[in-house]
């Protein structure tokens, strides 16, 4: 069973979430919590107008939403993550060339994004204590599976990650941790 916050993504959502700055905004809102365009501009080094534009694109795709209860006045606009995880496949495009192109480019960007997060860890791990260096992990295995069993494995991994997402650590030593996995047919 898929996690409750997982939803299928059409081409417009996929395109919205895979722009590099928009992906960073999604991450900032998801990890740090609600923020204004001005706060996000300060964190990213971008202009407020540029941030506002990208927030509107994300809101139109329902990836983020306004948090009006946080505003101190009618001019202030706060944004928060819609807390959804998205799933898509090139197969979902049903042979439609534009949809296939968007899904394919997004898959490639995802792999680059994942690798960049690992490279970032390699560059910054000296700033963390030995306990974090020992806790960080990478794993890979060759399995022999049918498509049905690969789907089962995918769902079990997602469910496990969802369990940790729904029950975050509240200790002072807790930090954001980026977790990803891939299971793809391949050849040695």
Tell me the domain boundaries of the chain. Answer: 6-135
What per-residue confidence (pLDDT) applies to 3? 44
CATH number of the structural domain 6-135: 1.10.10.10
User: pLDDT band at residue 2, thresholds of 50, 70 and 90?
Assistant: very low
Smallest CA-to-CA distance from 23 within 119, 110, 111 is with: 110
Reported as a single tens digit per residue, the pLDDT across 89-148 is 888 888 889 888 988 998 999 899 999 999 999 999 999 999 999 999 999 999 999 999
Reported as a single tens digit per residue, the pLDDT across 7-33 is 667 778 888 888 999 999 999 999 999
Q: What's the pTM value of the predicted model, to 2 decimals?
A: 0.81
């Amino acid at each position: 069973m898929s996690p409750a916050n997982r939803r299928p993504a059409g081409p417009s959502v996929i395109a919205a979430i895979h722009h590099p700055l928009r992906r960073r905004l999604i991450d900032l809102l998801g990890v740090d919590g609600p923020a204004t365009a001005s706060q996000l501009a300060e964190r990213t080094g971008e202009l407020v107008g540029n941030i506002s534009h990208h927030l509107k694109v994300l809101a139109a795709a329902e990836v983020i939403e306004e948090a009006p209860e946080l505003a101190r006045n009618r001019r202030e606009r706060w944004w928060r993550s819609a807390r959804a995880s998205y799933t898509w496949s090139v197969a979902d495009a049903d042979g439609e060339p534009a949809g296939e192109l968007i899904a394919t480019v997004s898959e490639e960007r995802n792999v680059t994004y994942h690798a960049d997060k690992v490279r970032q860890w390699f560059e910054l791990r000296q700033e963390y204590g030995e306990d974090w260096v020992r806790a960080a992990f990478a794993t890979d295995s060759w399995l022999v599976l049918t498509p049905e069993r690969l789907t089962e494995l995918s769902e079990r991994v997602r469910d496990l990650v969802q369990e940790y997402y729904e029950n975050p650590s509240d200790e002072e030593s807790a930090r954001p941790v980026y977790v990803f996995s891939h299971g793809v047919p391949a050849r040695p």
